Chains A and B, each alone.
Chain A
Amino acid sequence: MKTNLFSYNSILFTLIIILISTITIWKLPQTQNGYTHIGIAVYDMDDTFINDYVTKLQNKIDRSSFSGKKVLYEIFDAEGNANRQEHQLQYMYTQNFDALLINLVTPSSAASVLNETANHDIPVILFNREADKKDLSISKQTWYVGTAAKKAGAIQADMLQNVWNTDKINLDRNKNNKLDYILIEGEQTHFDAVRRTNGFLENSQNLPLNQLTNLSADWQRNLASVKFSKLDTSIIQSAEAIICNNDDMALGVYDYYKQHNLKLPLILGINNSPEMNQKIQAGEIYGTVDNGTSDQISYICKLLNDILNKDTAKYHKIWYSKPFAIEK
Chain B
Amino acid sequence: MKNNKKKYALVIILILFIAFFSSQCMMTRTNTESKKTVAVILPYTYNKENSRILDAIRDYSHNNSIILDVWHEKSLSSNELSSIIANEEQNHAIGILLIYPENYLTQQEKHYDYNNVLAITATMQTAFSHYAAFENSPSPSYLLPVSAQVIKKIQDGKTNCIYIKNTYKLGYESIQMLDTYSRNKYMKDISIPCHKVDKAAIESGELDALLTN
Interface residues of A (CB under 8 A from B): 8, 11-12, 15-16, 18-19, 22-23, 25-26, 30-35, 37, 45-46, 51, 54-55, 58, 62, 72-75, 77, 79, 81, 88, 90-91, 94-96
Contacts and interface: CB of A to CB of B under 8 A. Distances in A.
Interface string B1-39: 000000100110011011001101100110011010100
Interface string B154-182: 00000000000000000000000000000
A15 B11 contact: yes
A19 B62 contact: no
Nearest to A61: B72
Contacts of A18: 18
Contacts of B24: 26
B91 A96 contact: no
B44 A15 contact: no
B204 interface: no
B67 interface: yes
Contact of A96 (B28, B62, B67): B67
Interface stretch (B45-53, B100-108, B128-136, B192-200): B45-53
Given A16-B14, A72-B70, A77-B46, 10 more contacts: A19-B21, A22-B22, A26-B28, A31-B33, A33-B67, A54-B46, A74-B68, A77-B51, A91-B62, A95-B68
A142 to B, nearest CB: 23
A35 B58 contact: no
Contacts of A31: 32-33, 92
B79 interface: no
A45 B48 contact: yes
B71 interface: yes
A45 B46 CA distance: 8
Contacts of B92: 31
A75 B50 CA distance: 12
B21 A33 contact: no
A79 B51 contact: yes
A95 B67 contact: yes
A95 B11 CA distance: 43
B21 A26 contact: yes
Given A31-B92, A54-B46, A91-B58, A11 B11 contact: yes
Q: Which 10 pairs across A and B sit closest by C-beta, in order of nearness?
A: A15-B14, A22-B21, A26-B25, A74-B70, A34-B91, A91-B62, A91-B58, A19-B18, A72-B69, A23-B21
Given A30-B32, A31-B33, A35-B69, A77 B48 contact: yes
Contacts, number: 83
A33 B70 CA distance: 13
Contacts of A73: 70, 72
B213 interface: yes
B139 interface: no
Given A22-B25, A72-B70, A15 B45 contact: no
B14 A12 contact: yes
Contacts of A32: 32
A283 to B, nearest CB: 30
B132 to A, nearest CB: 20
A8 B14 CA distance: 13
B184 interface: no
Contacts of A25: 25
Given A31-B33, A34-B90, A75 B17 contact: no
B168 to A, nearest CB: 13
A33 B14 contact: no
8 contacts: A19-B21, A26-B21, A74-B70, A88-B58, A91-B62, A95-B61, A96-B32, A96-B67
A285 to B, nearest CB: 26
Contacts of A55: 45-46
Contacts of A45: 46, 48
A22 B15 CA distance: 11
Interface in B58-80: 58-59, 61-62, 67-72
A91 B21 CA distance: 32
Contacts of B45: 55
A11 B10 CA distance: 11
A34 B39 CA distance: 12
B185 to A, nearest CB: 21
A75 B54 CA distance: 10
A12 B11 contact: yes
Nearest to A45: B46
A31 B61 CA distance: 19
A2 B192 CA distance: 74
Given A26-B24, A26-B28, A34-B91, A15 B18 contact: yes
Given A8-B7, A11-B11, A33 B25 contact: no
Contacts of A81: 213
A26 B25 CA distance: 5
A33 B37 CA distance: 8
Nearest to B8: A8
A298 B70 CA distance: 22
